[in-house]
Homo-oligomer: A and B are copies of this chain.
């Protein structure tokens, strides 16, 4: 959604995460927002100009930490870096700990009758496959006015730009007119396994008058976006085992093949026109209201640009135009994030695989909770005789 009150003054340096070229984080002063109720920001603009180079260097330093999902030592380094940077900005910092979990870093700046929350994370997605990176994922490189590194966007870039902006605003105004609380976790990319427990221990952390989610940036045409809602996520692994060990495939007329079993189970989840066919799932999907659809019609949808970026000729189910935009905004997904079974190296090996696994992620919409989605999936598979296909949440 584009807020027309925001007047972007031009783009110059964009941080790009290679695995998601459509998702960017914009560095520094390049969007000069002028909401009418704000004081004059001449000093702020000057500080931004003076600091832009140093800010980029800070992001490069942050992105050098390979804080991939589940890599405990680098995650801890990234948490310490986050806490230290918040302290430098004058924040009151708390580093919360739980057993077997990366720390939750809290930083508070400013004071006033209202509190703005910023939800961020210092963990990043695994950077594999490495051979697709032009420069290594944890050796940030600026090319053509863009910074390339894992986490440059999603979310080290977004976190740092927010903090740098708040810091500069504080320096320009003398003090902030409100409290800003950063909540920075290390498990966002792996389902935020311990976040609920952290927040249950410290319920005051989520008290506030507004919250920014981790994301942000510009759309395919460079327009800044304000996203007012996002879908949820259920991540599961489907696993099946048919034999004690891989067999020579000369026995394939007799011995059940785990890869075939998984392929057959997965195939029941999707119809011929790529619709999701999990029994009952759409019973829990709230349909968009007329008001929502009317609002959606006012928003741009860069269909051709998205297709160009990914070199894809057609969208899922052959959808185009407003139909595609509605699906993109309001529908759940059932996505195979990965599948593996048997021999996958170069050359040939004639085996009947004993086990097969697939990682599925389901994007969820209002009313469709992870529990409901997984219950639908389990019952769907059981009803079709796939009780042997195990569903392991969050793995």
Contacts and interface: CB of A to CB of B under 8 A. Distances in A.
Contact of A337 (B132, B244, B249, B331): B249
How many copies, total?
Answer: 2
Contacts of A359: 342-344, 348-349
A55 to B, nearest CB: 25
A354 B335 CA distance: 12
Contacts of A244: 309-312
Given A243-B312, A246-B19, A348-B69, A336 B331 contact: no
A257 interface: yes
A240 interface: no
Contacts of A249: 333, 335, 337, 361, 363
A353 B337 contact: yes
Interface in A207-242: 231, 233, 235, 242
Given A248-B20, A264-B270, A310-B245, A253 B327 contact: yes
A314 B255 CA distance: 8
A138 to B, nearest CB: 16
Contacts of A256: 274, 312, 314-316
Contacts of A346: 70, 395
A133 to B, nearest CB: 11
A179 interface: no
A36 interface: no
A189 B348 contact: yes
Contact of A23 (B248, B319, B343): B248
Contacts of A247: 19-20, 22, 310
A21 interface: yes
14 contacts: A21-B245, A70-B347, A125-B350, A126-B345, A128-B343, A190-B347, A243-B310, A255-B312, A255-B316, A256-B314, A267-B267, A336-B353, A338-B349, A348-B395
The 8 A-B pairs of least Cβ separation, nearest first, read A267-B267, A338-B342, A244-B311, A259-B336, A338-B343, A340-B344, A252-B335, A20-B248
Interface of A: 18-23, 69-70, 125-126, 128, 132, 154, 189-191, 231, 233, 235, 242-257, 259-260, 263-264, 266-267, 270, 272, 274, 306, 309-312, 314-316, 319, 324, 327-328, 331, 333, 335-354, 356-359, 361, 363, 394-395
